[in-house]
Structure formats: C-alpha cells, structure tokens
A = this chain, B = another copy of it.
C-alpha cells in the first residue's frame, strides 16, 4: 500500500491534525502565500460546485434570482447601521490607493501617494450595506416588493487564526438579501431559507442538523433574529453551518428604503439575509470522514464510482479495461459519474489508497479471473466492505449501493449525534463533561451575564434555542433563576 498516502494522523490521536492533513492530502485546498487566504484545488472546488448547483436550484425554486453587487464598499456605508459596523469594522481589508508606481531604484513598485482615495473602500465582509444602498433605487411601492436577490461571491474578513475552509480571511459564499412589504413576510422568508439550508444539509450533505434561533449575543450584527443550523462534528463540537437573519427595518432605515404601502402610507422595507459558505466543506469533511480519508455522500461526490483493472500483462490490461469501459458507459447512462483508472504507471494498491483518501463512494475492481467468472469486486467507501458480485446487473447494484450509502451515512451521523446530546441541570457536571464534547440541553435564564460566564468558564457557547425539542420551564443551571426553555450549549468551530 502507498505509504505516503496512508500516514494520515488518526482521529483518536489528534482530531484537529487529522482534519488539517486530510484537507491537504485529499487535494481539497491548501494555504496560499497570502496570509489567511486559501487555494481551493480542483478536487475541492468540484465538490463546492456540486453544492452550489444544488443550492442554486433550491433558491430559484423559491423565487430567488441571482445578481451581482460591487466588491468594494465605501467606508461610510458601514457606519450607517450601528451594530453592523461594530461587528465588521474590526476585521476588514481597506483599500486606500488606486495606483502603484515604479520605485526610485527601478527594481520594484511602491504605492503612489498621489493616488490616495478620498474615501477608503472596504472589501465586502458581507453586502447588506451596498445592497440596501442599491435597493433604495429599486423600491418605491409595495408593487416593487418582494425583492429576492442572491449573489455567489467572495468575501473577506481579516481573521488572525485561520484554518482551511473553517476560518479563512477570504472565503466563497452565497448571500441572499430580500426586501419585503411586511414584517411577517420577512420573518417567514428568513425561516423558509433556514429550512432550505436544513434540507440541503440533511438530504445532500447527509449531515443531520439542529435548527434553532440564536441568543441575542450570538446574533448577526444588525439582525433582530438569527436562525441557524448546527451540526455535530465527530469530536462532539458544533459547527454552525448556515444562518438566516431577520433584519427588521434596520437596513431599510439606515439606507432610507421607504415604499408606499397598500394603505398609501410611507413605510420602511423589511429585510432578511442568509448565507452559507465554503465552511460547509469543513462540515462535510468532518461529519463523515475516517482514518482512511474522505467519506463523501454520493450526492456530492464529483466521481461516484472508480473502476480499476488488475492485470499481469498488457493484454490483460487492455481486455479488462475494455470490459470496465463498457460497465462505465452503462453507469454513465444512468446518470452516475464514473472514472476508469487504467493508468499503468501506478500500482493498484496505490490507486486503492488514493481513491479511499479522496472519498470515492464505490470502487469496482476487475482482474483476469473475474473476467472468466463474470464477476467484479465492489467496495463501498463508508464501510470499506468488499463483496464479489456478478457483472450481470452491476449497474443496478451500484445504484442501490449509492442510494443506500447516502442514507446510511446520514443515519450513522444522526445516531452519533443523538448519542451525544445530553440534558444537563447541574453546572458542575456540565463543566466536567463539556470537555469531552457533545451538545448539552440546559435551562438558561435568558441573560447575557449567564451566557458570558458559561463561555468564559467552559469555552462553550449557546448555539441556539432549538426548535425540535419539547420544552418545559425549569431552573437555570448556573444562576438558579427561572428559565422558560432549554438551550443547546456546545463548544464550537
């Protein structure tokens, strides 16, 4: 077996290092020479493209249209919404000049001081301000509403400590920004888009999520409510995987977006925004993968099936490959993405390790004896189970396995998560157990003080007030004050 591929750190040894190594070894992404910015490599980008494609269709099904707004935001725009500037000004890239010139020694370039901008421009950390400044000209009457725009783009938040996909200074995302005539319609849209995210996460990423609403402290800067989906990684930590914000009239007021409503009165427009990012790549990797490498849900795997010939002679290679090509064509015709790897520069064992590392869901291997017997070896990546099956009906069998894998990795992740969700009413117990990860359902008195104390003492945060659990009143485990509901507390990425 190929040693250079197999020396992946084990999850049990060092989960964090396992993740970092896996991202690089599976050819998903790497650090660039630009601080905090990553290069998304072709294999990683192919997975992201699949995600984009599915999400984009789901958005469009709800009436959303794509558009594109400027990368650069005038500094003064940020200041127009008080909480928003507070949330984003501390971590933004600032453009101050628009020209370089040759230096005095003629061996490099320097910033041309004559080309200083009158007002600095910020690389968008998120686009509420520039978009609502644009909506001002689009929205005059209730007949112009709703406006339902989304953009796929890059954004920049200057992060001091970065990790591939999970936290990078530049990342790719989509940001939806909608404007509505009523509060109710905007709140419904914010909740609707969270449902879209949850459906995408569970159905395509095979990643179970808990839907809920954020505490005030954890809200998006400028939102009245932030809805979130939270997923559990294999180390028991939470990963916030998508958020949808009800922004009230905050941006309508900040950018003076008023419209004449049906009662012929001037009113500020109601807003939502919602986004998921390349962070989802991190969530996908950490939910399913194992010590052999990536495990990808078939629905998002760029290559779903790899076919590999085993041979002793060039004649055998060409015979077996011809047979595999025929099977590949059959699979393709069923809409399954395939790759026949007949490269004779690499040994089969090397290929096996490589495709395991890259998470190809199904591997088919055929040798000369299989040819004679009319059989083929099938391995599924999630369980690593191998079986020798008949070539007759292999396409249908592969399809069945792919469907089964999509369901079973979801079930496996769900069971793991559910086994690590605990009700807890004792703060001492909480403090000792939170170190091992898991989601804790605890009563909370609703104060920022208690929330801050938990965070300070345990590094855990209130992830959300979850929708799905039956709630009864109780007593805050920290303060002893009354609580109306349990919240989900966890350490998080």
Instruction: Tell me the A residues contacting B by CB distance below 8 Å.
Output: 30, 32-34, 37-42, 45-46, 49, 65-76, 78-79, 85, 89-102, 107-109, 111, 120-123, 130, 133-134, 137, 143, 149, 153-154, 156, 158, 170, 172, 345
Taken together, the copies of this chain in the complex come to 2
Closest residue of B by beta carbon distance from A86: B102
Closest residue of B by beta carbon distance from A168: B70
A153-B133 Cα distance, complex, nearest whole Å:
23
Residue in A70, A111, A158 with the greatest tally of chain B CB atoms within 10 Å:
A70
Contacts of A158 in B (CB 8 A): 98-99
Contacts of A97 in B (CB 8 A): 93-94, 96
Contacts of A78 in B (CB 8 A): 100, 109
Contacts of A107 in B (CB 8 A): 79
A100-B79 Cα distance, complex, nearest whole Å:
11
Interchain CB contact under 8 A, A94 and B95: yes
Interchain CB contact under 8 A, A130 and B95: no
Q: Given A46-B65, A65-B45, A109-B75 in contact, is the A95-B123 Cβ separation under 8 Å?
A: yes
Q: Given A67-B41, A134-B39 in contact, is the A33-B95 Cβ separation under 8 Å?
A: no
Closest residue of B by beta carbon distance from A159: B98
Choose among B42, B65, B68, B109 the residue that contacts A85 (Cβ–Cβ < 8 A): B109
Q: Given A49-B66, A67-B41, A72-B170 in contact, is the A99-B108 Cβ separation under 8 Å?
A: no
Q: List 17 A-B contacts (CB under 8 A).
A: A32-B134, A33-B74, A33-B130, A34-B70, A37-B72, A39-B68, A46-B66, A75-B100, A85-B109, A89-B100, A89-B101, A89-B109, A90-B101, A94-B98, A94-B99, A95-B95, A154-B154
Interchain CB contact under 8 A, A45 and B66: yes
Contacts of A172 in B (CB 8 A): 68
Contacts of A73 in B (CB 8 A): 34
Interchain CB contact under 8 A, A156 and B71: yes
A85-B109 Cα distance, complex, nearest whole Å:
8
Given contacts A49-B66, A79-B107, A89-B100, 18 further A-B pairs with CB under 8 A are A33-B74, A34-B73, A39-B134, A42-B65, A42-B66, A45-B65, A71-B123, A72-B170, A78-B109, A89-B99, A94-B99, A94-B100, A95-B95, A95-B96, A95-B123, A96-B96, A98-B158, A111-B120
